[in-house]
Amino acid sequence: MAKSTFKRSAFKLQRSLGIELPGLGKPGALERKPYPPGQHGNERKKISDYSMRLKEKQKLKYHYALREKQLVNYVRKSKKDRSRAWMETLLITLERRLNNAVFRLNFAPSMAAASQMVRHGHVFVNGKKVTVSGYLIEKGDVITLSDKAYNSVLYMQSQKSPRIPTVPACYNTEKDGANKVKASLVDYPIKDDIPFAFEDQLVTEYFWRI
């Protein structure tokens, strides 16, 4: 399985945030130790307003496997779009990233594995190979994989035991052979498609100066 680019382990990241983030892969981070890591993790602590805003921002960063600069750039671009609230634009943009689409379609078990699949040239959009994880898919785009990817253990396991059982309604999926699934984006994602709980108002407050 592809490894996360983050220095801390996926389980520790999720425990520090107090929530399981599907994009980090294997579930169960909070089953045995539902409290932050560290010697004093099980003690009650007063959380500052800034810490609450930071945690909500970190959820987006870690689930979507983004660097801080990437997320900030997405925020800046979203604020320039006057067609809707910038937070809504941000969420739609993050959900439209190609690596996220590969993950949400259960082609890969985690966001890191999905990014690796894209970078290695196993993902096609409208029949053309795309190797950029942050490529933004549009309505009508058809997503398929290479034969090697369709026959890989990661793909087989992801289809059999998906990290998130339900594929978002914005995708239309269909079988294309014995074990091949292809998908098309029929509509833009919505906030309800985000597969974890978070407070968008706190994220808005965190980035209000940008």
Q: Please check whether residues 68 and 117 belong to one and the same domain.
A: no
Q: Please check whether residues 81 and 120 belong to one and the same domain.
A: no
Q: Quote the tokens at residue 103.
A: 């993950």
Full residue range of the structural domain in which residue 165 is found: 97-191
Rounded Cα gap, residues 114 and 98, in angstroms: 9
Note the pLDDT of residue 32. 65
- Assigned domain for 20 exists: yes
Average pLDDT of the chain to the nearest whole number: 89
Instruction: Compute the CA torsion angle 188, 177, 160, 60 (nearest 10 deg).
Output: -20
Q: Please check whether residues 143 and 87 belong to one and the same domain.
A: no
At 18-53, the pLDDT tens digits run: 889 999 987 765 666 556 554 444 555 677 999 999
pLDDT at 1 over 80: no
Tally Cβ neighbours within 10 Å of residue 97.
Answer: 25
At 7-25, the pLDDT tens digits run: 468 778 877 888 899 999 8
Q: Please check whether residues 34 and 109 belong to one and the same domain.
A: no
Nearest alpha-carbon partner for 22 in 138, 193, 203, 142: 193
**More confident: 26 or 114:** 114
In this structure, are residues 177 and 27 in contact, taking their beta carbons and an 8 Å threshold?
Answer: no
Collapse the DSSP code of 142 into the 3-class scheme (helix H, G, I; strand E, B; otherwise coil) and give the result: strand
Q: Please check whether residues 136 and 62 belong to one and the same domain.
A: no
**The total number of structural domains that make up the chain:** 2
**More confident: 18 or 6:** 18
At 84, phi and psi to the nearest 5? -160, 175
Q: Please check whether residues 85 and 117 belong to one and the same domain.
A: no
CA distance readout (Å), 84 to 92, 149, 181: 11, 37, 33
Q: Please check whether residues 77 and 17 belong to one and the same domain.
A: yes
DSSP single-letter state for residue 195: S
User: How many angstroms separate the first and last alpha carbons of the chain?
Assistant: 36
